[in-house]
Structure 1
């Protein structure tokens, strides 16, 4: 467990929902051995809705030991996440478990923080796979490890007051050269060298804010961009479903003034002297 006074800061790639909801540490190549579902849960502060059931599944070929922890999640306008330990806000049972091959374990997450919060608050439930000793006769000081790939997955849990709603507004839209999200690769698997970033391409930079008391997930909307290209022709493009998720992740937008900058490729250069509009639809 980390020091409770520590603060972790990590940069999250906007191009992958998994990058926001699942942090994976690979020590060797291999297939996924653990599944966590659901990846997003919303709780209320009181009543039956104040608890979530998170299922940990073992789809590997060996027994899966795991432990859990909770961190509070805050995000700035560039998508940088600051996480602080927050185990005291929840009762997690069981905090540790041992899942047999093909089995599953339900972890109950109960809110025990303030019964009345002014706005939604975001947390991560970490589920960390632990190494296991394969030789029962090995001394306590050592032994062979059967787990060659260790996974840490993070499920997003949001606590929201009853009746809270988001209020998303567009601050600005402007043509820009944007760099598509690069796949996240463990440096140890690529010779400790980060892969080169993809080349920049024409797109738009969209700044949005949320003045409501509830968070918003911008990947849940269809984005419609309209403008004029450099040739003077009308431009219109819709980003929906899996495409927008690949570009903005879940697009978490914090309440009470949360602000994010999203960058979407358009494929053509838009005229900066002409209006560029963005609309959100369901």
Structure 2
């Protein structure tokens, strides 16, 4: 789901021999903060399920998501306090990381950041033959001031076939001041099939995530989604409504 909620980076060292797998879990993967007050603080827990101690460091990044869903991260550590910034998480134990937004308190719109929890590679003894797997987790952090709200606007709809599957390409914009998640929104798709029959589908809650992922759309941003359908629709008949 979430083509953008986290990235797993695999760094391979010493390609001969058995792999040493590291297992960790992070919760929650999506956090919402306010610019000021008690709600400007969040706690994220990392659980180390592996058989060895693993060192991690935390970096806060500003996130930009392209129309195609590609995530670009840039450092934004001046806007957050993080404790601890580094930690060795012992085997079969948990570590709580605390983050606090300390950036601009008077925001006109919500902002999208990522808490990047990065495993620190460790030195491997020269005589050891193994593959070291380094895993990074990106926790989506939305800073949301009071009074903002998203506005979902359909920019264009195009009937098309992708990988031999009929569907529609939808350019969906957010003309509001708050972020929303297209995959967790309510969708209504209506139209007429090529056989002249009426077509109507409604997707509630997280039903759309199976088709497009979470689909985060920040204020003033546009995302493009291909939505596979069971019927081929007449292009001029298609109508879509999205309610965040």
Q: Deviations over 1:42-77 (max 9, x none)?
A: 111110011111111111221121111111111232
Calculate the TM-score normalised by the size of structure 1: 0.77
1:114 CA drift (Å) = 1.0
- The answer to whether the Cα contact below 8 Å between 1:43 and 1:160 also exists between their aligned partners in 2 is yes
The 1:162–1:143 alpha-carbon spacing in structure 2 relative to 1, beyond 3 Å, is farther
Whether the aligned pair in 1 keeps the contact of 2:187 and 2:202 (CA below 8 Å) is yes
Q: Is the 8 A contact 1:62 1:146 kept in 2?
A: no
Q: Is the contact between residue 131 and residue 145 of structure 1 (CA under 8 Å) also seen in structure 2?
A: no
1:265 maps to 2:228? yes
TM-superposed deviation, 1:268? 2.3
Work out the number of aligned pairs and report it.
238
Could you tell me which of 56, 66, 69 is aligned with 2:46? 56
User: Relative to structure 1, is the Cα distance of residues 164 and 241 closer, same or farther in structure 2, using a 3 angstrom cutoff?
Assistant: closer
The equivalent position to 1:129 in structure 2, one of 99, 110, 119, is: 119
Q: Is residue 156 from structure 1 mapped to residue 140 from structure 2 by the alignment?
A: yes
What are the superposed Cα offsets for residues 5-61 of structure 1, whole Å, 9 maximum, x if unpaired? xxxxxxxxxxx31x3122112348676611111111111111001111111111122
TM, length-normalised to structure 2: 0.88
- Unaligned 5+ runs, structure 2: 13-17
The question of whether the paired residues in 2 share the 8 Å contact of 1:133 and 1:145 is answered with no
| 2:29–2:140 CA contact under 8 A, matched in 1 | yes
Structure 1: segments with no counterpart, 5+ residues? 1-15, 179-198
Alignment of 1:1-282 (within 5 A): 16-17=1-2, 19-26=3-10, 27=12, 33-133=23-123, 144=128, 148-178=132-162, 199-240=163-204, 243-255=207-219, 257-273=220-236, 275-280=237-242
Moved over 4 A (4+): 28-32, 142-147, 240-243
